[in-house]
């Protein structure tokens, strides 16, 4: 995901990102953990990449 968001930003020039988290068959706890990792792990790397 970290690579895909900046790629889409470069391609489309968007200024917002909307994520829909619904992982069929994945337990709710694992889905919530994935969502929790977006803020400390993914978003800072994306911000740096799109500067």
pTM of the shown model: 0.65
**Per-residue confidence of the chain (51 residues) as pLDDT tens digits?**
688 889 999 999 988 888 877 778 889 898 888 888 888 988 899 999 988
pLDDT of 31 reads 87
pLDDT of 22 reads 75
Other C-beta atoms closer than 10 Å to the C-beta of 5 total 19
Domains in the chain: boundaries: 1-7+26-51
Q: How far apart are CA 15 and CA 12, in angstroms?
A: 9
pLDDT of 1 reads 67
Answer for the pair 49, 6: CB distance below 8 angstroms, yes or no. Answer: yes
């Amino acid at each position: 995901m970290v690579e895909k968001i900046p790629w889409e930003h470069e391609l489309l020039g968007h200024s917002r990102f909307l994520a829909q988290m619904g992982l069929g068959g994945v337990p709710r706890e694992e889905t919530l953990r994935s969502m929790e990792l977006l803020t400390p792990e993914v978003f800072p790397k994306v911000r740096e990449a799109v500067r």
